[in-house]
Amino acid sequence: MIDIKFLRENPDIVKQNIKNKFQEEKLPLVDEVLELDIKSREAKGKADALRAERNKISKQIGALMAQGKKEEAEATKKLVTERSAELAALEEQEKDLQERITGIMMVIPNIIDPSVPIGKDDSENVEIQKYGEPVVPEFEIPYHTEIMERFQGIDLDAAGRVAGNGFYYLMGDVARLHSAIISYARDFMIDRGFTYCIPPFMIRSNVVAGVMSFAEMDAMMYKIEGEDLYLIGTSEHSMIGKFIDTIIKEDQLPKTLTSYSPCFRKEKGAHGIEERGVYRIHQFEKQEMIVVCKPEESKLWFDRLWQNTVDLFRSLDIPVRTLECCSGDLADLKVKSIDVEAWSPRQKKYFEVGSCSNLGDAQARRLKIRVDGEKGKYYAHTLNNTVVAPPRMLIAFLENNLNADGTVNIPKVLQPYMGGKEKLQ
């Protein structure tokens, strides 16, 4: 959510930003907010004046009573009552206007970074750099679930009977590999100075509204019936929510956390041949990283975060590339985003395995995460990035480490987490 003062002073910039995100239907919202803002400030001005007048008159009552002017005091009391009724009406009007303004401001997209390429959707994202040499072996690579089935490592049929489509049982060495990757990613991030965290797996609606757009919430979140709780779609939400309504001393920044959690997603609209298996699922586990920092340091941390994911995948001998997300592919709260994609030898192309986002002060403004600095209080910047999500990682891992004889190599860094195994047989 952008600052109302910024919108008030720069409506044309806000409108151009909306155009850059190809959301022209939101253009009228800018003028609507400006009109409501004028009315809100007028109501506030009248209320402040009336409040001052009422307080002044109230002070006269005691003096009149002390002078024995009871009738005048009673008349003054009546006047105070009238002013209080007028003030209550103005305060209700002001509250209603502010709620309407906030509702619209939650829909107007955040101002994107000038470096973000302009494009309508993810087809216009821009490749930045490749890391590692993508290889296509001479032998045919089966679909990832077929590789898992060779090790008796997955049971989709049983999961379908128990929970429906979009769920799975991982078994044996494949399940162990899944846990090994999570454990390795945890230690990888701890070694890079991040504090390990296991957060709540459910969050309240005010936290949901603070960390994501309404469109994202509807497409992703599962609501707990009868309670003000949602299952998290990513631990970023509860980790950023950890700082809701707090004032952080400037010398305590940055806050760098890495978390493990299960994640639950509706995955509305998922379709196509590559949605089979464990590409798009309703439940998975993930290692995440977040940063809460000073505004002037968010660009530095953004580059560090996506580099962490690249380095982790390269340590497992998986080729990756980075993509700059174009304006139309950015969620409304995001200032800038880079996707990390892993190489798929079977598909002969890259596919997304992580996303790094700088949200500026948008989440902090919604959640009231402030910093107490030398020059006063200000909103922090928040960033997040996927360390690793094993379902997608498993696909990349199995395809890139598969041998012609059907065995799967285990990189040295992962072997201690697999009981010393060098291969899956």
DSSP string spanning 216-257?
A: HHHHHPEEPTTSS-EE-SSHHHHHHHTTTTEEEEGGGPPEEE
Q: What is the mean pLDDT of the chain?
A: 91
Question: What is the rounded end-to-end Cα distance, in angstroms, of the chain?
Answer: 52
Average pLDDT, stretch 309-334? 96
Q: How confident is the model at residue 268 (pLDDT cuts 50, 70, 90)?
A: low
Q: What is the pTM of this model?
A: 0.88
Q: How confident is the model at residue 272 (pLDDT cuts 50, 70, 90)?
A: very low
Q: How confident is the model at residue 276 (pLDDT cuts 50, 70, 90)?
A: low
pLDDT above 80 (res 51): no
Q: Are strands 381-388 and 349-358 parallel, antiparallel or unpaired?
A: antiparallel
- Where b means 16+ CB within 10 Å and e means fewer, 162-173 reads eeeebbbebbeb
CA distance 296 to 304: 14
C-alpha distances in angstroms, 6 versus 3, 34, 79, 289?
5, 11, 40, 30
Q: How confident is the model at residue 197 (pLDDT cuts 50, 70, 90)?
A: very high
Of the listed ranges 11-15, 79-83, 343-347, the least confidently predicted one is: 79-83
pLDDT above 60 (res 125): yes
Of the listed ranges 31-40, 65-74, 256-265, the least confidently predicted one is: 65-74
Q: Which residues pair with 263 in a beta bridge?
A: 284
CB 148 within 8 A of CB 398: yes
CA angle 30, 32, 36 (to 5 degrees): 120
Burial label, 78 (beta-carbon count in 10 A; 0-12, 13-18, 19+)? exposed
CA distance 27 to 196: 42
- The secondary structure of 184-221 as a DSSP string is HHHHHHHHTTPEEE---SEE-HHHHHHHS-HHHHHHHP
Q: How confident is the model at residue 266 (pLDDT cuts 50, 70, 90)?
A: confident
Mapped onto helix, strand or coil, the DSSP state of residue 280 is: coil
Cβ-proximal residues to 101 (8 Å cutoff; 6+ apart), any chain: 4, 33, 36, 37, 40
| List of domains in the chain | 4-105 (1.10.287.40), 122-424 (3.30.930.10)
Give the alpha-carbon dihedral of 32, 38, 39, 44, to 10 degrees: 140
Choose among 390, 85, 397: nearest CA to 262.
Answer: 390
Cβ-proximal residues to 11 (8 Å cutoff; 6+ apart), any chain: 30, 31, 34
Q: How confident is the model at residue 137 (pLDDT cuts 50, 70, 90)?
A: very high
Spatial strand order in the sheet of 255-264: 126-131, 320-324, 336-344, 349-358, 381-388, 283-293, 255-264, 195-197
Cβ-proximal residues to 386 (8 Å cutoff; 6+ apart), any chain: 234, 286, 287, 288, 289, 309, 340, 353, 354, 355, 356
pLDDT above 50 (res 273): no
Choose among 264, 267, 278: nearest CA to 351.
Answer: 278
DSSP assignment, residue 282?
A: S
pLDDT above 90 (res 47): no
Choose among 301, 296, 351, 356: nearest CA to 325.
Answer: 356
pLDDT above 50 (res 271): no
Q: Are strands 195-197 and 255-264 parallel, antiparallel or unpaired?
A: parallel
Question: Which residue do the tokens 């690793």 mark?
Answer: 388
Cβ-proximal residues to 10 (8 Å cutoff; 6+ apart), any chain: none
Choose among 395, 378, 410, 132: nearest CA to 253.
Answer: 378
CA angle 395, 396, 399 (to 5 degrees): 80
pLDDT above 60 (res 40): yes
C-alpha distances in angstroms, 238 versus 6, 91, 109, 123, 382?
28, 34, 22, 31, 13
Q: Are strands 369-373 and 376-379 parallel, antiparallel or unpaired?
A: antiparallel
pLDDT above 90 (res 83): no
Mapped onto helix, strand or coil, the DSSP state of residue 403 is: coil
